[in-house]
Structure 1
Amino acid sequence: MKWAISILLFLACIGVSAQSKMKLAAMQQGAGPGVIYDGQNAADPVNEVNGVANTQDSANATWSSDTGTGVTNGTYCLVVTHGTTGTGSTSRIQTQNIEIGDEIQVVMDVNKRSGTNVTIVLATADGWDVQDTGTVNSENGVTRTATATASNPDIRVVYGSGASTGSSHGIDNIVLTKLN
């Protein structure tokens, strides 16, 4: 009888382990519990299209979609390109399905194509409870975490005033996960 119980426990553990691995694989592909980004653009790991929906240009930077440097998931990536040296720029990635009080982890891949580094910011002025910021050269798995104080707060993509003309970065595989 003890050996039968041991076998049942062993089989149950194998089943749980397999389920956990499947959930992890789904989340790594951008799908799974709590994953809420629905950009429907070149950086969306679930609904990728050749486009720049849910982004906002600034007066000195523009978004495009491309297949070159910066693609880490799928076929395309978003590309943000800075305009004129001597003038900073703040472009935005717009979020969806975020409500006030949602604690959100933002993960994305950012790869330099040319020029100056870029800063990825969750800003209090855009509806986040803390200013979570960091300059990025080229890095997969850039992570920022904050709680929404407004519905659908933006993610800032900032080039400082010292950024050179034509500086650009590929941004891909954006995953927003609700933590609470």
Structure 2
Amino acid sequence: MYQTNQLATPVKLLIMDVDGVLTDGRIFITASGEEIKSFHTLDGHGLKMLQKTGVKLAIITGRDAPSVAHRVKGLGIDYYFAGIHNKQQTFLTLLEQTGLNAKQCAYIGDDVVDLPVMNRVGFCVAVPQAHPEVLKRAHYVTQAAAGAGAVRELCDLIMHTQGTLDKALAEYLS
């Protein structure tokens, strides 16, 4: 059922972009300037399950939207970097903060601004709607669309590859 990718075995940190990964990429802006984004509950629960297995979570996003900060807090994301224009530098800072190396990191992105990090991590993942240059460089492309379970698919794949999925699902199956 789950495609195993051995590059997911050493993953201790999952890093994500937001727009076009955790959302479908569309940004709704109200007349007052408030941004509204849509997040999928499958992704959120998958992140919580993955985190329970010991994998840390991080977001590096170019935008600084209050709705994302609210979602991050609700999910208990370990590291959150918003309004970032140099994702590579932030990634290096994240490695220092966590004490991990690049091979222990996975990154899921959709656009060329994600490539400086994707090119350095041990497991880089793209969503199907990603820019062609991103798709070309990804180790794995999700079947699920951005904002519609792509992150959950990745979480399940990591847990499956690391042998923690059955335990993560056990509380729901008994």
Whether TM exceeds 0.5 here: the answer is no
- Look at both structures and tell me which one has the larger radius of gyration over its CA atoms: 1
Structure with the bigger RCO (C-alpha within 8 Å, sep 6+) is: 2
Task: Give TM-score, length-normalised by structure 1.
Answer: 0.26
More strand by share: 1
TM-score (norm. length: structure 2)? 0.27
